[in-house]
Amino acid sequence: MKSIRVLIDTNIVLDWLMQREPFNSEAKTILYACLHGKIRGYLTAHCLTDLFYILRKDMEVTKRKQVLLLLCRYFYIITEDYKTIKDTLENQAWLDLEDGLQMQCAFNEKLDFIITRNIKDFETSKVPACLPNEFIEGHLV
């Protein structure tokens, strides 16, 4: 049976790491499903740099590096090359570079879903985007 392959948006990882309520429980369920091999979780390379920067107020450098190494161990990391960035910038429907890169990377990798809380930002995605609770109800319960 083929494993479901999902791109985890940065906001979901932050919900888990920062224990942001009321989103932490759903984020934890999804990320643990990736960690335990129930689904194949993907992160973009720029997600890691975003996390490192965003978490600077809450974690010292050593801790942030440990967290990112953990993510690299259990998630597939999608790199962004010249073509990916060019395709994203040339797509007139995408007004936000970060979201555009998420969508382009998910499309390039032929992933099944993008899991995000910012569903409206992914309306033009060729890869279906879904909210965490929708994904859990449809694929993990």
Range of the domain at 46: 5-140
Query: For the chain, what is the domain count?
Result: 1
| CA 18 to chain CA centroid, nearest Å | 15
d(CA 5, CA 2): 9
The CATH number that applies at residue 129 is: 3.40.50.1010
Under DSSP, is residue 130 helix (H, G, I), strand (E, B) or coil? Answer: strand
Summarised one tens digit per residue, pLDDT across range 51-71 is 999 999 999 999 999 999 999
According to the model, what pLDDT value does residue 1 have? 57
pLDDT digits (tens, 9 = 90+) for 74-127: 999 999 999 999 999 999 988 899 999 999 999 999 999 999 999 999 999 999
Provide the 10 A C-beta neighbour count for residue 106: 26
- Its pTM stands at 0.94
